[in-house]
């Protein structure tokens, strides 16, 4: 499949058809063999949800941080049925060459999502891929092409699509017409996401292979603000707060309203709150995603406080019949001109999964959605069908946020053509669709996967 054929195929073959949480896991003659690449925060959080609902066997894990991967192996051994420690690797290429997996979970920093994901699909594995799927648009195109070429099932960990209260809001509020015609959506994050202050560069820790950790990203001196978990504050490894937090809310709104690609994207902002920080992502930014008769507006800032304390991170949908506020923690429907308001809170399952209460670093409100997300993937692997958060949906949401950052950098509105995979008539913008890779790493394209 060449790039032009890939884009002509469009999203039709990957259309989402199911709106309810999955509950059936098909019988499996043998435990699925699972591998994990990236053993940090979400690598463990998401993988342990799988072990709660399926007798999978995590046979091998990979990380360039020797201390982190050893700790993860110990933890996994206490949670999987066999009590075996997974084999440990420091290079995903070696792991994929020596092991055979049914599922590979990619949970690296963002700049390392694409190459291991393509390699795992080539090796015959289906994927559970953390968001955003890529750090540039061509990476995303390459992932979609690889999934099609190798017939792999990919679930992107955008768990809003498997969150019961949001599925209820879609079905019972929006589809029932309680909002009427929706003309504007505000999406927002008022958390102080960017680290402040200045830290000096230093030698990497002895347990970290910093050369491999950097991989295809630009090489910069090691800084303790970057690893572990601080890399999201640096554009070399991420797409900033828009790529981290907006991508969730944009994908949620797209799911709620059955939206595809925006027609035009613009953005403004910068580092205004703490401009002297070692971190370099924008701390203040707005982005506008335009559809035919609908505008989605994103805002993040470190200034002031949130307008509604119940919604520090979420989306507000404005219709001519009412307003819907939605987030990971619940939703509120407020009818216009009187009537019955509706409130729904996030659900927990502590009675069934008591370890959710005590697990270190677990975002407890997403435990149930991730279990549903995994169940959906397992079903789709059996039927070879598209999961609720398939690679095409991940590509649209991630690339829209990447284009917002490009619009900020260029200072102009961008109109992306998803069929051609370019921004027509804008050579300067098209040159930014693929980030330069550091040698010897080679940037994939849809033609080369």
164-194+228-345: CATH, from 3.40.50.11810, 3.30.930.10, 3.90.1300.10, 3.30.360.10: 3.30.360.10
16 pLDDT tier (thresholds 50, 70, 90): very low
| Positions of CATH 3.30.360.10 in the chain | 164-194+228-345
Binning pLDDT at 50, 70 and 90, where does residue 120 land? Answer: very high
Task: Tell me: pLDDT of 14 over 90.
Answer: no
CA distances from 417 to 8, 13, 15 (A): 11, 18, 19
**What whole-number distance in Å separates Cα of residue 365 and Cα of residue 346?**
7
Q: Are 283 and 302 in contact (CB under 8 A)?
A: yes
CATH class of 3-162+361-391: alpha beta
Q: Are 449 and 9 in contact (CB under 8 A)?
A: no
Say whether pLDDT at 83 is over 90: yes
pLDDT of the residue at 80: 96
Indicate whether 29 pLDDT > 90.
Answer: no
Mean pLDDT of the 427-437 span: 98
By mean pLDDT, which of 27-31, 65-69, 246-250, 298-302 is the weakest?
A: 27-31
Strands (E), 111-263: 126-129, 154-156, 182-189
* Position 7 pLDDT exceeds 90: no
**pLDDT for 139 beyond 60:** yes
Rounded to 5°, the CA angle 21-379-88 comes to 110
Angle (CA) 129 134 137, round 5°: 140
State yes or no: pLDDT of 25 exceeds 90.
no
CA separation for the pair 107, 274 (Å, rounded): 29
Nearest in space to 57 (alpha carbons), one of 96, 85, 26, 29: 85
Q: What is the bridge-based pairing of β-strands 342-345 and 330-335?
A: antiparallel
Residue 337 burial (CB count, 10 A): 6
Strand partners, 345: 330
Element (H, E) at 72: helix 66-79
Closest alpha carbon to 115 in 153, 146, 155, 160:
146
pLDDT of residue 178: 97
Phi, psi angle pair for 180, to nearest 5°: 70, -145
Least Cα distance to 145 among 176, 174, 117, 110 occurs for: 117
For 214-228, the pLDDT digits (tens) are 999 999 999 999 998
Distance CA 49, CA 45 (A): 7
Higher-scoring residue by pLDDT: 260, 21: 260
**pLDDT at residue number 30:** 84
pLDDT, position 436: 98
Is 241 in a helix, a strand, or coil? helix
CA distance 162 to 365: 12
Q: Per-residue pLDDT averaged across 341-369, rounded?
A: 97
Binned at pLDDT 50, 70 and 90, residue 12 comes out as: very low
Write out the DSSP string of 281-333: S-SEEEEEEE-SS-EEEEEE-SSS--SSTT-SEEEEEEESSEEEEEETTEEEE
Q: Is the pLDDT of residue 235 over 50?
A: yes
Tell me what the mean pLDDT of segment 127-140 comes to. Answer: 98
**Res. 22: pLDDT tops 50:** no
Band (pLDDT 50/70/90 cuts) for residue 10 is very low
Between the alpha carbon of residue 255 and those of residues 247, 251, 381, 388, 398, the distances in Å are 12, 6, 22, 9, 14
Please report which confidence band the pLDDT of residue 194 belongs to, taking 50, 70 and 90 as the band edges: confident
- The predicted model gives 245-255 an average pLDDT of 98
Position 93 pLDDT exceeds 50: yes
Position 8 scores a pLDDT of: 41
Which has the minimum average pLDDT: 15-29, 122-136, 298-312, 417-431? 15-29
Separation of alpha carbons 143 and 394, rounded Å? 10
pTM of the model: 0.93
The CATH 3.40.50.720 domain(s) of the chain lie at 3-162+361-391
C-beta of residue 196 within 8 angstroms of C-beta of residue 277:
yes
Q: Residue 7, Cα to own-chain centre: how many angstroms? A: 22
Nearest partner of 394 among 128, 12, 133, judged by Cα: 133
To the nearest whole number, what is the mean pLDDT of the chain? 93
Q: HSE, CB side, 13 Å, CA atoms: give it for residue 309.
A: 0
Q: Can you give the pLDDT at residue 1?
A: 39
Interval 2-17 mean pLDDT:
40
Measured CA to CA, the distance from residue 85 to residue 391 in angstroms comes to 30
How does pLDDT run across 351-363, given as a tens digit for each residue?
A: 999 999 999 999 9
Residue-wise pLDDT tens digits, 398-419: 999 999 999 999 999 999 999 9
Max distance between CA atoms of the chain, in angstroms, equals 64
CB 416 within 8 A of CB 439: no
SS3 182: strand
d(CA 449, CA 441): 14
Q: What angle do CA 389, 394, 396 make, to 5 degrees?
A: 125
173/30: higher pLDDT: 173
């Amino acid at each position: 499949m060449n790039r032009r054929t890939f884009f002509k195929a469009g999203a039709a073959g990957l259309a989402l058809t199911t709106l309810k949480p999955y509950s059936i896991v098909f019988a499996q003659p043998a435990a699925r063999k699972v591998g994990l690449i990236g053993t940090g925060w979400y690598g463990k959080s998401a993988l342990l949800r799988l072990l709660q609902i399926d007798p999978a066997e995590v046979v091998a894990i990979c990380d360039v941080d020797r201390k982190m991967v050893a700790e993860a192996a110990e933890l996994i051994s206490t949670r999987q049925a066999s009590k075996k420690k997974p084999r440990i690797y420091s290079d995903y290429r070696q792991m994929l060459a020596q092991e055979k997996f049914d599922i590979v979970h990619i949970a690296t920093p963002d700049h390392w999502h694409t190459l291991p994901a393509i390699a795992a699909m080539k090796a015959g594995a289906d994927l559970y891929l953390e968001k955003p799927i890529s750090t540039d648009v061509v990476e995303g195109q390459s992932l979609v092409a690889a999934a099609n070429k190798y017939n792999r099932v990919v679930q992107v960990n955008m768990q809003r699509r498997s969150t019961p209260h949001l599925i209820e809001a879609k079905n019972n509020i929006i589809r029932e017409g309680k909002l009427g015609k929706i003309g504007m959506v505000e999406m927002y994050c008022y958390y102080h996401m960017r680290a402040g202050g200045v830290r000096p560069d230093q030698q990497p820790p002895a347990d970290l292979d910093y050369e491999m950790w950097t991989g295809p990203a630009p090489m910069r001196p090691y800084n303790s603000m970057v690893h572990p978990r601080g890399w999201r504050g640096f554009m070399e490894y991420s797409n900033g707060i828009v790529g981290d937090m907006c991508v969730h809310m944009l994908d949620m709104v797209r799911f709620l309203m059955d939206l595809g690609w925006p027609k035009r994207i613009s953005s403004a902002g910068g580092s205004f709150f703490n401009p002297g920080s070692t971190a370099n992502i924008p701390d203040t930014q707005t982005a506008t995603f335009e559809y035919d008769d609908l505008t989605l507006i994103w805002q993040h800032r470190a200034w002031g406080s949130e307008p509604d304390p119940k919604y520090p991170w979420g989306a507000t949908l404005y219709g001519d019949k009412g307003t819907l506020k939605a987030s990971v923690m619940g939703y509120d429907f407020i009818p216009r001109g009187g009537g019955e308001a509706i409130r729904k809170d996030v659900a927990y399952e502590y009675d069934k999964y008591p370890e959710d209460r005590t697990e270190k670093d677990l975002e407890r409100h997403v435990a149930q959605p991730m279990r549903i997300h995994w169940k959906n993937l397992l079903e789709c692997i059996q039927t070879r069908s598209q999961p609720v958060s398939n690679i095409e949906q991940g590509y649209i949401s991630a690339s829209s946020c990447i284009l917002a950052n490009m619009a900020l950098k260029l200072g102009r509105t961008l109109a992306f053509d998803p069929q051609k995979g370019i921004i027509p008539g804008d050579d300067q913008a098209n040159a930014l669709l693929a980030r330069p890779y550091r040698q010897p790493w080679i940037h994939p394209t849809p033609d080369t996967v």
